[in-house]
Chain A
């Protein structure tokens, strides 16, 4: 699922992972409809996310304008990767909610008959709703229709498409949440430093029951400690029997979502069963950011959550992170671990080292692209009749310098993403999503001219026109870059890096100037 994250539009308020995850949740609901308009998406949001603070009215526009949506008519959209989105829907939400969603689509089609002008669209939408409400009846209908459709080519095509739709729904319904169910992503330490609290956590885990509270101020590293602990557990048990459910109130301060996801994961129909089922499964519940539901004295003000934790303390095990401790009451007792804040300068130092390592890793991944693009740029030189000039230089040295410059450009992009909080896995996603695009871009003549501008400048005050680069990117019709890439900052960092690395020497400047001179001479010839 995470591979869809880059395609959710990265407007600034949604620039963080939290916002993008929320948009994906909305998208997976919208994916139930074969086509949708802005009003239907709005109705889906207000019916199913009315208490979700992360999704406002403008989130709808963000989703509709994102690469995940394709406009197929005037105010009519189709979602891409519906299979994956439907799987997310079935994995995270209850059947009851999905049925309700299908009913919403039906009621909307019924109450607004004009929104889908074409009958074929309308019946596709209704049949899809029926496929999720009552698959047997839908399949029965389609089977009966098949005999008649043999005479009608269009009808036959439509039935084939709907058959695929049925398979899509069937596959999604068959998806079961994994034993290690990460509803929300916990941040990883960048980099990890050994901490005493981790040892305490290991000792507590041996008891296999009760609640462990990690208490510490904001930024102390509670969530990253849990993440590290889970990684260790997964490695030690090879992920076979580890049954973990992770929910973060920072992402979704919503009790209903917690119970719904827990219900889906534990296949339990009522809230009462949850602690027992969790205990039977030997599962570990992780609740991050409990302070969202605590009063100043630490008391939980939501009775359902309070009841859940009271029963889990006796029947199962959970790790809870919070800024405040829970008051002792009744039968509830818990193990408390106080997290001391990590020293800030140490974090910064370690982060710089780790950033460097992961960026280097990223650059290595792009190396084949860079060398091919450098070859293309160099070949372009030779084609321009500069073979004589080229004789004075070591050809591989020029090619190498171009290649190094490109590497520095990619490093600058990765650095920019890293600054925005991209982690290693997300950087890998970026490589996968933009590999082809970056290669085509670097091979493009105009883009290469702009990027290699410092080669022909005698002064260090040369500037890269990031707007031109962006226009070129758009003209080549490549995937839109994530909003997190600050192109102006990337250009500045790129210039700084190539100057610092001393890639360009005066000889190269001569060569590039000769190329420019040749170009102008040809231009003059043409005019005269």
Chain B
């Protein structure tokens, strides 16, 4: 396969990779646009030029630009397009470079068709870092090493995460979480009431004002930390929690943390129940035992992610629960695949406490449904609406918090 073929294939493979692997929203028309641009003479000056052209036509955000640049360079290296033609930039270069590649006839730019294009030079070599001779022996520090490494750091790589769910998707889903009530100072004109008052009195009366509509939903986020949730910390903190906090358009968003289950003393009744259950198969007996589990009386939640400042659960609930939409974010043992009866009973006890205050509770699990099987997560999902943290799951969770009914196997 010669270079013409490679050049014919290259944009097509790039286009397909962007669509299939990186889910760029590109249609055949987008490819056609590039084709037309190339025919019109754009993107032929250099590799950078073509990259910029692809970016201008196909990338819709900074993240997409970064991905496109990285993939372009990767593919270009693979195709051996390092020493690509640079007709415009090498006017002053001597004609001793490598043989100029042929441009396929359909791609030859109109304006440059008759030009004598000089050969392409090799890209300038990466300057080798030279250690500066100093009077004193140099100290290896992060700063000095970064200076030494500077010449190597020009490769285009993706440096912003691409999780299964983006910040924007979480924002879009949580914006649907709303329940409007009028509260606060009366600042809006109530036209109907004003007219009615005027008609009733028959004389000029002051205008009737009403309070603005406000979103009364108050998300109460309870996030599991450490242990098996550690690999998801970055995703949960920077995507899920940040998006809900910053853009849910709610009056107040409260976040509390716990580890695995809520810290607190187990009631004697639950202790006795556990002794009865541990030696038997969990799921077959939980149908009957769920009713016997006593709600958690005490318990603590933490106010910061390092789990150092505890606050009693009753106090938190009294302060935060009114009008709250409770969102629990935890893997429920699915990450390690643990099947832990103690965790199940303690979690059910806590859920009972929560349900005593509000029925607006959902559980978000960062792992997909198929990973819940044979773990405590499957047991917990029988008592509380549990959804995976993905596009569809998040919308279902919001629907549930908006009051849509959800069939539970064993409601508490």
User: B125 near A: Cβ within 8 Å?
Assistant: no
Interface string of A100-130 (1 = CB under 8 A from B): 1011101111110000000100110011011
Interface string of A127-160 (1 = CB under 8 A from B): 1011001100100111011011000000000000
Interface string of B54-89 (1 = CB under 8 A from A): 000000000000000011000001101000000000
Q: Are B230 and A71 in contact (CB under 8 A)?
A: yes
- What size tier do the contact residues of chain A reach? 35 or more
Which of B128, B131, B231 lies in contact with A64, CB distance below 8 A?
A: B231
Q: Are A145 and B228 in contact (CB under 8 A)?
A: no
Q: A58-B367, A127-B145, A134-B129 are in contact. Are A141 and B138 (CB under 8 A)?
A: yes
Cα A110 to Cα B154 in complex, Å, equals: 12
Q: Which residues of chain B in 352-386 are interfacial with respect to chain A, using CB atoms and an 8 Å cutoff?
A: 366-368, 370-371, 373-374
Q: Are A303 and B77 in contact (CB under 8 A)?
A: no
Q: Are A38 and B231 in contact (CB under 8 A)?
A: yes
Q: Which residues of chain B in 129-154 are interfacial with respect to chain A, using CB atoms and an 8 Å cutoff?
A: 129, 131, 136-142, 145-146, 148-149, 152-153
Q: Which residues of B contact A11 (CB under 8 A)?
A: 337, 371
User: A416 near B: Cβ within 8 Å?
Assistant: no
User: B176 near A: Cβ within 8 Å?
Assistant: no
Q: Are B146 and A106 in contact (CB under 8 A)?
A: yes
Residue of A nearest to B136 (CB): A148
Residue of B nearest to A11 (CB): B337
Q: Are A137 and B131 in contact (CB under 8 A)?
A: yes
Q: Which residues of B contact A50 (CB under 8 A)?
A: 21-22, 71
Q: Are A119 and B142 in contact (CB under 8 A)?
A: yes
User: A382 near B: Cβ within 8 Å?
Assistant: no
User: A391 near B: Cβ within 8 Å?
Assistant: no
User: A195 near B: Cβ within 8 Å?
Assistant: no
Q: Which residues of A contact B168 (CB under 8 A)?
A: none
User: A505 near B: Cβ within 8 Å?
Assistant: no
Q: Are B153 and A103 in contact (CB under 8 A)?
A: yes
Most interface-central of B140, B157, B233, B374 (chain A CB within 10 A): B140
Q: Which residues of A contact B71 (CB under 8 A)?
A: 50
- What size tier do the contact residues of chain B reach? 35 or more
Which of A37, A51, A111 lies in contact with B159, CB distance below 8 A?
A: A111
Q: Which residues of A contact B368 (CB under 8 A)?
A: 58
Q: Which residues of A contact B272 (CB under 8 A)?
A: none
Q: Which residues of A contact B373 (CB under 8 A)?
A: 12
Q: A465-B279, A467-B279 are in contact. Are A38 and B146 (CB under 8 A)?
A: no
Q: Are B145 and A467 in contact (CB under 8 A)?
A: no
Interface string of A293-313 (1 = CB under 8 A from B): 000000000011001000000
Closest-CB distance, B104 to chain A (whole angstroms): 15
Q: Are A137 and B148 in contact (CB under 8 A)?
A: yes
Cα A147 to Cα B134 in complex, Å, equals: 14
Q: Are B129 and A145 in contact (CB under 8 A)?
A: no
Closest-CB distance, B289 to chain A (whole angstroms): 15
Q: Which residues of chain B in 308-347 are interfacial with respect to chain A, using CB atoms and an 8 Å cutoff?
A: 335-337, 339, 341
Q: A123-B145, A134-B129 are in contact. Are A61 and B231 (CB under 8 A)?
A: yes
User: A521 near B: Cβ within 8 Å?
Assistant: no
User: A75 near B: Cβ within 8 Å?
Assistant: yes
Closest-CB distance, A447 to chain B (whole angstroms): 15
Which of A96, A127, A145 lies in contact with B77, CB distance below 8 A?
A: A96
Q: Are A145 and B131 in contact (CB under 8 A)?
A: no
Q: A134-B129, A256-B78 are in contact. Are A107 and B231 (CB under 8 A)?
A: no
Q: Are B77 and A142 in contact (CB under 8 A)?
A: no
Most interface-central of B77, B164, B230, B341 (chain A CB within 10 A): B230
User: Majority SS of interface residues in chain B?
Assistant: loop
Residue of B nearest to A106 (CB): B149
Q: Are A57 and B278 in contact (CB under 8 A)?
A: no
User: B203 near A: Cβ within 8 Å?
Assistant: no
User: A379 near B: Cβ within 8 Å?
Assistant: no
Q: Are A468 and B335 in contact (CB under 8 A)?
A: no
Q: A11-B371, A130-B148 are in contact. Are A100 and B157 (CB under 8 A)?
A: yes
Residue of A nearest to B305 (CB): A74
Q: Are B142 and A122 in contact (CB under 8 A)?
A: yes
Closest-CB distance, A204 to chain B (whole angstroms): 28
Q: Which residues of A contact B371 (CB under 8 A)?
A: 11-13, 58
Closest-CB distance, B16 to chain A (whole angstroms): 11
Q: Which residues of A contact B164 (CB under 8 A)?
A: 57
Residue of B nearest to A120 (CB): B142
User: B105 near A: Cβ within 8 Å?
Assistant: no
Q: A106-B153, A126-B145, A126-B149 are in contact. Are A145 and B230 (CB under 8 A)?
A: no
Q: Are A147 and B142 in contact (CB under 8 A)?
A: no
Q: Are B231 and A65 in contact (CB under 8 A)?
A: yes
Q: Which residues of A contact B137 (CB under 8 A)?
A: 144-145, 147-148
Residue of B nearest to A145 (CB): B140
Q: Are B146 and A126 in contact (CB under 8 A)?
A: yes
Q: Which residues of A contact B129 (CB under 8 A)?
A: 134, 137
User: A174 near B: Cβ within 8 Å?
Assistant: no
User: A194 near B: Cβ within 8 Å?
Assistant: no
User: A46 near B: Cβ within 8 Å?
Assistant: yes
Q: Are B138 and A145 in contact (CB under 8 A)?
A: yes
Q: A61-B232, A107-B153 are in contact. Are A141 and B131 (CB under 8 A)?
A: yes
Q: Are B228 and A104 in contact (CB under 8 A)?
A: no
User: A47 near B: Cβ within 8 Å?
Assistant: yes
Q: Are A307 and B157 in contact (CB under 8 A)?
A: no
Q: Are A104 and B157 in contact (CB under 8 A)?
A: yes
User: What are 6 residue pairs bridging A and B, where the CB atoms are less than 8 Å apart in the complex?
Assistant: A38-B230, A51-B21, A57-B164, A61-B335, A130-B145, A141-B145
The 4 closest A-B pairs by CB, nearest first: A126-B145, A61-B231, A64-B231, A122-B142
Q: Besides A37-B234, A127-B145, 8 other CB < 8 A contacts?
A: A11-B337, A38-B232, A51-B17, A75-B230, A119-B141, A134-B129, A148-B139, A304-B1
